[in-house]
Structure 1
Amino acid sequence: MSYWMKSLLLLPFVFVACVQAEPLQKSFSDWQLTCNNAAFCVARSFPGDNGLVMTLSRSAGVNDRPLLRIDYGSAYSGELPGGSLKDNLLLDQRRLTPDLKHWSVEPHHLATSNAIAIDEFLAQTLDAHTLQLTYQAKATIPLSGMKAALLLMDDVQGRVNGASAWVKRGDRAASDVPSAPQVPQLPAPLPQPAPLTQEETSGLIDYGTWRVNTDNCSLDPLRREVSVAPLTDTKALLLISCEAGAYNVIDLAFEVTRSQPYVARGLTLTLPFTPPGRSDNQMELVNAEFDASSGLLYTFSKGRGLGDCGVATRWQYDGNDFVLAEYAEEKTCDAWHSSDHWPTLWVSQTQNAVQSD
């Protein structure tokens, strides 16, 4: 069990000198907290399909860039009818009239990055039960899990018992917090490889269709798809569909020499961490796409056909293997946001591309 998961059970909290960087995603009643390897954390209410959602995010360290948002309507629901949020919010059945001087105010979107404004809002809501719209009873934000989610966020970022904590505030100065962890640096992209010739493409697809060992694949050989792309001037990436469901296709990946006699090596995706709720760090290539110009491999595992939940990853080819660049996951299937906005559990820094001659 990681440090911050234990710490909720152990009081009083003990300040640590460095921020823990192990990714997490955890639910508290109707709130979900996600923190990545840079200790950037985002907490949001759910379900989002009732239309109304509150989100709080914060970076580790002194330069924390906090953000609080309340949104009515999403990309899935589109614009929803009704009056403005600023005039139609109820907190435990009483009209809420927040001071919006330091807020960005739109009819159905309220947001602030002002630390004092966020503190004032949390002072009103941390111990409340519900936030809802006057004109739409089902548009409700349950608040019961928010306090626990923000307490864990404070703990992950080393803020507990300090002046910058959102929940368990203490005497330590706001500047007395650990710095954000260093995130790993990706290998520099390789020079863009020469495109495959028609002869190379035909030969490699024929090789992938008939000669690569796919005995463990459940997909009928006649339904398997084979795609090929250049990895380097001498190696190619071969993707062969192996299993298929309603909206996910699992591929096998091989690094293959571009010229005969073909030599193939199976490729696997190994995560540098074990995702919450899993016992291993091996990734399947689900709905995989490869961009030969950048050496980036993308996967997108849908939790359901709508594509509002699941796992999305990005990997950088280093000349031998694929290295994780980004891992995003949304466990809650509530039609709130698409994969472009899922919370991240792993991020990295990029290097400048190597220039080709």
Structure 2
Amino acid sequence: MISTILAKTITLCTAMLSLFVAGVISIPQPSQFSDWTVACDNVLHCEAIAGFASGGSADEWTLHVTRSALPQAAPQVEGFPAFGGPIESGRIRFDGREEGFKFENNGQLVGDPYAFLSALARARIVEVMSHHGNVIGTLPSSGASAALRWIDDKQGRAGTVTAIVARGQQPATDVPPAPVLPRIAQPATSSAPPRLLSSSDVRTIRSLGEGCEENPPEDFPLGVETYRLDSTYTVGIVGCFLGAYQGPSVIVVIDEEGSWDLAPIELPEEMAEYRLGSPWQHMLTGAGYSSEDRLLTEWSKGRGLADCGTSASWAWDGEIFRLTAYRSLEVCSGAQPGTWPSLWQTANDPIGDGD
């Protein structure tokens, strides 16, 4: 028993040492302005998620605003009933006045997005009206002006004709060019089959996770998957346990001799604060691997509605899984499932801003 505990401790400490050296990355942080969460990632792709701080109700709507850093890029606006309620197209009224804007039944705004957001930033009460003139929802406006000004400033648009709130007369050419997407270099692919884990390996790996099922039932939905990374290594995803709506897996890397180690995974600072130094630094929730994209992924809902949570992806560089994308929304206020703002992206897993 003592030797088993000692072996487990040594394994964990060895993996932690490697992560302390190369496993943490600093990423941009979001800001909160009343009902509005705003974030700009490492290439200044900016997003705003607006939902009522009270937690939302059936007659409240949420807003999602995105804008790339390209100087001529226009903001994109979507509006939806909170908590995935039925979408109904409707006209928009600002403090009792209609100004020609509406949402289609797919959530897309119809009308000039600059004028819409400017009116929203000035208004106190913003309502969505049905075609019959009934109020079918309200939009969050508290904090809109400060949030949109924050985006103007982050993208260097303040004082230019491209700003939303801090608008001026300077031309779009005064907006700084968009930063270049970084790319994680990866070793060549291999057509060799992935290495496999023995039943004994799987039991040992599960013992290194936190709260893992030691002897899961045959119909356990989180099984064991392995995928070829390159000519030398295979990634193993070992299901740990299943909660109410999702479950974590322990991630390992297997060499050509069949030996495995807990996977070194580069973590965002905010994630490292609570994962580093614990079994969770090698565990991912909703884990998966795409051989086509060569990406290890996590999709972790903050609650069952998925109106908050985190998602991330990593690329294997031959030594460590490097962060390639990260989205996070801490505030749960009824946003569309998985609508979490980008905090990090790379050319390995880009958003694809093209406007």
Please classify the TM superposition score into its range, dividing by the shorter chain length: 0.7 to 0.9
- 1:297 is aligned to 296
Which has a greater percent of helix?
2
Residue 124, structure 1, aligned to residue 127, structure 2: no
CA–CA separation in structure 2 for the residues paired with 1:110 and 1:263: 51
* Residues 251, 285 of structure 1: 8 Å contact kept: yes
Please point out which of 262, 270, 279 is paired with 1:266. Answer: 262
Amino acid at match of 1:222: N
- 2:214 is aligned to 221
Residue 46, structure 1, aligned to residue 51, structure 2: yes
| Structure 1 residue 270: Cα displacement | 1.3
Please point out which of 80, 90, 94 is paired with 1:91. Answer: 94
Please, what is the CA RMSD of the aligned residues? 3.3
| Structure 1 residue 149: Cα displacement | 0.3
Q: Where does 1:200-211 land on structure 2 (aligned, <5 Å)? A: 201=196, 204-211=197-204
Q: Where does 1:63-212 land on structure 2 (aligned, <5 Å)? A: 63-69=72-78, 71-73=79-81, 76-80=84-88, 84-86=89-91, 89-92=92-95, 94-98=96-100, 106=104, 109-111=107-109, 117-134=112-129, 139-188=137-186, 190-196=188-194, 201=196, 204-212=197-205
| Structure 1 residue 108: Cα displacement | 6.7
- 1:36 is aligned to 41
* Residues 311, 328 of structure 1: 8 Å contact kept: yes
CA–CA separation in structure 2 for the residues paired with 1:258 and 1:34: 42
- 1:11 is aligned to none
Q: Secondary structure at the match of 1:149?
A: helix
CA–CA separation in structure 1 for the residues paired with 2:81 and 2:176: 36
CA–CA separation in structure 1 for the residues paired with 2:28 and 2:136: 33
CA–CA separation in structure 1 for the residues paired with 2:41 and 2:179: 10
| Structure 1 residue 323: Cα displacement | 1.8
Change beyond 3 A, Cα 1:189–1:140: farther
Q: Secondary structure at the match of 2:84?
A: coil
Change beyond 3 A, Cα 1:216–1:144: closer
* Residues 236, 252 of structure 2: 8 Å contact kept: yes
CA displacement, residues 40-75 of structure 1 (integer Å, 9 cap, x when unaligned)? 112232146545333332222413232234x34479
Amino acid at match of 2:317: D
CA–CA separation in structure 2 for the residues paired with 1:78 and 1:118: 23
Q: Secondary structure at the match of 1:96?
A: strand
CA–CA separation in structure 2 for the residues paired with 1:342 and 1:125: 22
* Residues 87, 107 of structure 2: 8 Å contact kept: no
CA–CA separation in structure 2 for the residues paired with 1:325 and 1:344: 11
| Structure 1 residue 210: Cα displacement | 4.2
* Residues 326, 342 of structure 2: 8 Å contact kept: yes
Q: Secondary structure at the match of 2:215?
A: helix
The answer for unaligned runs of 5 or more in structure 2 is: 1-25, 217-221, 350-355
Residue 25, structure 1, aligned to residue 18, structure 2: no
Amino acid at match of 2:99: T
With normalisation by structure 2, the TM-score equals 0.73
CA–CA separation in structure 1 for the residues paired with 2:64 and 2:293: 33
The answer for unaligned runs of 5 or more in structure 1 is: 1-20, 352-357
| Structure 1 residue 150: Cα displacement | 0.6
CA–CA separation in structure 2 for the residues paired with 1:59 and 1:294: 23
- 2:233 is aligned to 235
With normalisation by structure 1, the TM-score equals 0.73
- How many residues are paired up? 307
CA–CA separation in structure 2 for the residues paired with 1:239 and 1:177: 44
* Residues 190, 295 of structure 1: 8 Å contact kept: no
CA–CA separation in structure 1 for the residues paired with 2:109 and 2:253: 47
